[in-house]
Amino acid sequence: MNENPKVKREVLPNVNLPMEQAVIAGLLSSPDAIFDVCDRLRAEMFSHSGIRFVYEAILSLVESGKVVDMLTVENEMRRLDSGMYDKLDGLLFISGMLLDVRNDKHIRIHADELVRCYTLRRLVSGLKETEVQAEQPAADVLALLSGVEQLAGTLRGELTRSSSMEEAGKVAARVLERSYQEQTERESGKSTRIRTGLREFDTLTGGLYPGELVVIPGRPSMGKSAVALWMALNAARQGKAVAFFSVEMSKEDNVIRLLSMISGIEADRIRFKGTTRGERDRLEAAQKELESLPITIEYCGSDTIEDIRAKAQALYKQGKLALLFIDYLNLINVVVSKNDLQETTDLALGNIARKIKLMAEEMQIPIVLLAQMNRESDRRPAPHFPILSDLRNSGAIEQIADVVAFVYRAEKYNIFYDPKTKEDLRGVGLLLVAKNRNGATGVAKFRYNPSMTCLTDYDPRVL
């Protein structure tokens, strides 16, 4: 008997079709919502075959690192099973619900309800099988009871498998095991943390750790992009697969900076001033080094956070992503629906930061996110040191980040000497670690050349 492709809102035992529709509608209206439920919901948990098929198409897109929207889902449905696609008439069979559900606000609650209904259906089915077996003359009571207990244990595990609750002792054992393993790796020359190439910053923070979000804010032209590119280059030189996503500069502009960093030739000479034969030899050597390094450069000028996430997922699944840089937060395209017109910029950027932090945790990679500052530090008396509240449209960014390190150069404020120590501050940059969730805060110094294309460790003896 063919199933009617039009989903009716009828009441069936342990089946909630409106909720199944709501989950799919939420996924289609908010593409990144799939990451909130994919570890909880499996395709077979949907009772309706058509809705199940749509969910399978969404999972297939995520698996291949593609963006989830109505068009891509319909194309994927057609690719997976054109007959089923024609029978359902694409997504038309749930068009009514798509008009009713405009966001993913309650999608986790809806997913929990689907898991509950699926578990009850499995329980009913399992107990019916046990009932049939129990009616047999030679039924083995102990075996049947053992089967019921096993069924209950399996279903109980599925109900709670997305829960993060653990006994403290088990967590402690895992923490110590990881700590000892990392110590062994460090002693053997290996480590899960990534060094940034800036010694004082690595000493203060330990470097970049999997699952952590590091926010690097700075005023315009303070050098945050240069610092990030320097970190990316040094991570790649350690053999780490690095991706540098820029919302501000083109791929060519970023590669010019990298070539300049490697060759020591100023970027302006590469762009328009011209180079000598010897400099061209150094640039060609730099180009060959770049070819050998695992660095991916991408321009994300009009990308939403969902687009950026899909690109990162694609690289990660290919084994080409161990560290991600995003330059920078405030330029990421924010798509505001009619229902969210009241959402402030603060809330929107805070929401993007939260999603980026979830990306870091899901892929277990460090993510370095650059951000713009407001003008408050410029209005304060010299030396104009920034503080956490200077994060432009900060919202929840400072709460979400694991590390916040401001880029600061005294020269930008025409401060050339330290008023207390009389130290020459020309060519001296600071990373002001204002927040470090798992370590100390403080100041990390570094040196840079006039064009900010070469950074080195700080040495007070160097002028």
C-alpha span between 374 and 354 (Å, rounded): 20
With a CB cutoff of 8 Å and minimum separation 6, the contacts of 248 are 225, 327, 328, 331
Q: Are residues 200 and 287 in the same domain?
A: yes
The pLDDT of residue 31 is 67
Is residue 173 one of the residues assigned to a domain? no
- For 333-384, list the strands marked E by DSSP: 367-372
Here the CATH number for the domain that contains residue 379 is 3.40.50.300
Q: Are residues 141 and 251 in the same domain?
A: no
Domain boundary among 162, 178, 202: 162
Q: Are residues 220 and 264 in the same domain?
A: yes
Model confidence pLDDT, tens digit, residues 301-328: 888 888 888 889 888 888 889 999 999 8
Is residue 179 one of the residues assigned to a domain? no
Token pair in block for residue 377: 């530090």
Is residue 298 one of the residues assigned to a domain? yes
Q: Are residues 434 and 352 in the same domain?
A: yes
Is residue 180 one of the residues assigned to a domain? no
Q: Are residues 82 and 37 in the same domain?
A: yes
Is residue 92 one of the residues assigned to a domain? yes
Q: Are residues 145 and 211 in the same domain?
A: no
The pLDDT of residue 98 is 65
106 neighbors 30 (Cβ within 8 angstroms): no
Q: Are residues 386 and 437 in the same domain?
A: yes
Q: Are residues 367 and 452 in the same domain?
A: yes
Model confidence pLDDT, tens digit, residues 170-227: 778 888 887 888 778 767 766 667 999 999 999 999 899 999 999 999 988 898 999 9
Count how many domains the chain has: 2
Is residue 238 one of the residues assigned to a domain? yes
- How many CB atoms neighbour CB 177 within 10 A? 10
Amino acid at position 5, single letter: P
Q: Are residues 313 and 405 in the same domain?
A: yes
Here the CATH number for the domain that contains residue 73 is 1.10.860.10
With a CB cutoff of 8 Å and minimum separation 6, the contacts of 433 are 201, 204, 205, 403, 404, 405, 440, 441, 442, 443, 444
Q: Are residues 131 and 227 in the same domain?
A: no
**Which residues on adjacent β-strands are paired with residue 304?**
333
Give residue 405's domain range: 190-457
Q: What are phi and psi of 147, to 5 degrees?
A: -65, -40
With a CB cutoff of 8 Å and minimum separation 6, the contacts of 205 are 403, 405, 433, 436, 439, 444
Is residue 181 one of the residues assigned to a domain? no
The pLDDT of residue 122 is 87
- How many CB atoms neighbour CB 178 within 10 A? 11
The pLDDT of residue 75 is 92
Ranges in the chain, pLDDT < 50: 1-3, 5, 9-10, 162-163, 338-339, 341-342
Q: Are residues 68 and 132 in the same domain?
A: yes
Is residue 463 one of the residues assigned to a domain? no
Domain boundary among 143, 162, 181: 162
The pLDDT of residue 189 is 67
HSE value, Cβ hemisphere, 13 Å, CA-based, for 228: 31
With a CB cutoff of 8 Å and minimum separation 6, the contacts of 1 are none
Q: Are residues 147 and 205 in the same domain?
A: no
The reported pTM is 0.68
The pLDDT of residue 395 is 60
